[in-house]
Amino acid sequence: MSDPHEGHHETHAAPFPHGTKQDYVTGFILAAVLTAIPFFLVMSGIFSSERLTAFLVLICAVAQIIVHMVYFLHMSPKAEGGWTLISLVFTIIVLVIAVVGTVWVMYHMDANMMPGMMTEPPAN
Amino acid sequence: MSTPIITEPTDPRVFHPEEEPHHPEGHSTPLGFWIYLMSDCLIFATLFGTFAVLGQRYGGGPGPKELFDLWLIALNTAMLLFSSITYGFAMLAMHRGDQKEVMKWLGITAGFGLAFLAIELYEFNHLIHIGAGPGRSAFLSAFFTLVGTHGLHVTFGLIWMAALVLQVRKHGLTSANQRRLECLSMFWHFLDVIWIGVFTFVYLMGMI
């Protein structure tokens, strides 16, 4: 065990995955392009179809998240014997269940409980 | 009446290793910190889910098209993206053992982080000033909660960064300080990933 107040330099203190300068620069350029595209699409309104614009913006966001994961967070299937990837996949599953489930349930609640349908139950 | 006969095992059986296996200090920190980030991710998932449900409920108040200025958001996004790569340069300097460079890049990163916060606070202040505060509509409540939680994370990241600058100045790039800088690196890049979700779903999708 090394004393944390020891003044010596110890490289490889913990097995954190490293990136090279090339990684960071590549990641930055990709991220900048993937940020600029959706902002341009929305601000210029180049496509008249809202659905198409939303779809392309979504694709850019997913691509940019992957770029950040790989080039900035140094994710790889081999890091930590695969445990970081497994915990990420688990989180994504929980996330999708929570978000999609919420939107789904609340949409139906909304559609089936409009003010017009709130009638008094018949008095017997 | 019979008494149960307890036989002492002749050879003492061992159910646990006599000595704890030796691990270097902090060897499990990367995975542990990653799992913390994943749990933080779930906090944001619930807030994004809330925003998805309430984001269209303007309650007769203003919607995103009347409120948001995409140029300001683009500037804010650029600030956070620049701070991500400058933190990366700080990490590269750390691996070289160049303390001066680490301090320089951490300072630049903190500058971009502060600029991000300043722009966000300007936006919040502007919205509250024109009567579009969190109490105006369900949409604005969800908006302020989601974006505010992200801003709070950035604030704590900056406090953490200031603490580490002082630590590195006092003790140098020790193995413990390197581990702390690695954790903050993950935290800082993770906040940028969350911001991708924020500008995509809150700002861009709202303005289409």
ipTM: 0.84
Average pLDDT for A58-74 = 95
**A2 near B CB under 8 A:** yes
CB contact under 8 Å between B81 and A35, yes or no, is yes
* Among candidate residues B36, B72, B80, B28, the one with its CA nearest the CA of residue B188: B80
Cα–Cα distances in angstroms (integers) from residue B22 to residues A59, B19, B25, in the given order: 46, 8, 9
CB contact under 8 Å between B196 and A98, yes or no, is no
Domains in chain B, CATH or no CATH each: 62-207 (1.20.120.80)
Predicted confidence (pLDDT) at residue B38 exceeds the cutoff of 80: yes
CB contact under 8 Å between A72 and B42, yes or no, is no
Residue B144's Cβ-side half-sphere holds a number of Cα atoms within 13 Å equal to 16
CB contact under 8 Å between A31 and B46, yes or no, is no
Share of chain A above pLDDT 90, in %: 56
> At B143, which amino acid appears?
F
Predicted confidence (pLDDT) at residue A10 exceeds the cutoff of 90: no
Share of chain B above pLDDT 90, in %: 82
Q: What pLDDT is stored for residue A59 in this prediction?
A: 97
Q: What is the DSSP letter of B7?
A: P
Q: Chain B contacts of A24, Cβ < 8 Å? A: 85, 88-89, 92
Between CA A99 and CA B44 the distance in angstroms is 10
CB contact under 8 Å between A14 and B182, yes or no, is yes
Nearest C-alpha of chain A: how many angstroms from B105?
14
Lowest mean pLDDT among A80-94, B9-23, B139-153: B9-23
Q: Chain A contacts of B52, Cβ < 8 Å? A: 99, 102-103
CB contact burial A9-42 (16+ within 10 A = b; e otherwise): eeeebbbbeebeeebbeebbebbbebbebbbebb
Nearest C-alpha of chain B: how many angstroms from A93?
11
Share of chain A above pLDDT 70, in %: 80
Select the residue from B85, B89, B188, B190 to test the A interface by mutation, using most A Cβ atoms within 10 A: B85
Residue A41's Cβ-side half-sphere holds a number of Cα atoms within 13 Å equal to 26
Share of chain B above pLDDT 70, in %: 91
Predicted confidence (pLDDT) at residue B9 exceeds the cutoff of 80: no
Do B85 and A24 meet the contact criterion of CB atoms below 8 Å apart?
Answer: yes
Chains A & B: contacts with CB separation below 8 Å: 159
Number of residues written out for chain A = 124
Contacts of B43 (CB under 8 A, 6+ apart): B149
| Neighbouring C-beta atoms of residue A80, cutoff 10 Å | 18
The shortest CB-CB distance from A14 to any of B92, B171, B179 is to B179
Between CA A17 and CA A70 the distance in angstroms is 11
Between CA A72 and CA A75 the distance in angstroms is 8
Nearest C-alpha of chain B: how many angstroms from A47?
10
Q: What pLDDT is stored for residue A121 in this prediction?
A: 61
Nearest C-alpha of chain B: how many angstroms from A75?
10
* Surface of A (92-121) touching B: CB under 8 A: 94-95, 98-99, 102-103, 106
Q: Dihedral, CA atoms, B28, B33, B35, B37, nearest 10 degrees?
A: -170
Between CA A36 and CA A88 the distance in angstroms is 27
**A86 near B CB under 8 A:** no
Between CA B164 and CA B180 the distance in angstroms is 8
Contacts of A82 (CB under 8 A, 6+ apart): none
